Amino acid sequence: MKRSLPKATPALAKSVWQNQKRPSARSVARAMTAAGYPVHFTTVARWKAQGWPTHTNDVHPLDQARAALDSIAPLLTGDPMTKAEDVTNEAKDNFEGLSDAELLRQTARELSIAFICVAKAIELSVPSLVASRPSEAAVLIDALVACGKAANAATLQAECMERGPGLAAK
């Protein structure tokens, strides 16, 4: 069973809001971000105005980046069923028992490995890939950039979570 990655939710924001003496969208966003759940204050304000919705379509940036990489991975093999994890040849670890911070670090690590393996595969086929399919190559490079940014952001989020709320600002 795949666990979802930790992310800011309206329910969490509502709890933080109710826990503060004089809450504001900014103070709630600041507290959540310090705890490792980055969220913009306008998002908190929107959630409050919507009555703290129970279902949102927000997807964690790592999941978005992984999906972007998966969508373009078939370019490397010619098989439409290829996913980024197929390129890494890395066995799945058991995620049960991992803390949110450990899960983020593990996911960021796996995404970084996929990034490196796909980048190396591109290196081998750059001349023919760019010459024969330049638009697909551009999409692949965009997906790689998104993966790098998401893995970095997840590592920083995990670090904030591990530091704890009192140490996050240091």
Looking at residue 88, its pLDDT comes to 58
Looking at residue 48, its pLDDT comes to 94
Q: Which two tokens stand for residue 27?
A: 């103070």
Q: Considering only 13-27, 31-45, 113-127, which range has the smallest mean pLDDT?
A: 113-127
Residues 37-95: tens digit of each pLDDT: 888 999 999 999 999 987 766 666 777 777 777 877 777 777 788 777 776 554 455 56
The top-scoring range by mean pLDDT among 26-30, 68-72, 96-100, 146-150 is 26-30
CA distances from 37 to 76, 115, 141, 154 (A): 35, 24, 28, 10
pLDDT (mean) for 20-43: 89
- Provide the sign of the torsion angle of the four alpha carbons 120, 98, 103, 66, taken in this order: positive
Q: Considering only 58-67, 96-105, 135-144, 150-159, which range has the smallest mean pLDDT?
A: 58-67
In whole angstroms, what is the distance from residue 159 CA to residue 131 CA?
A: 42
Q: Which two tokens stand for residue 166?
A: 């009192």
Average model confidence (pLDDT) across the chain? 79
pTM, whole model, 2 decimals?
Answer: 0.47
3-state SS, residue 162 = helix
Q: Which two tokens stand for residue 64?
A: 């978005």
Q: Interior CA angle at 48 toward 44 and 54, to 5°?
A: 95
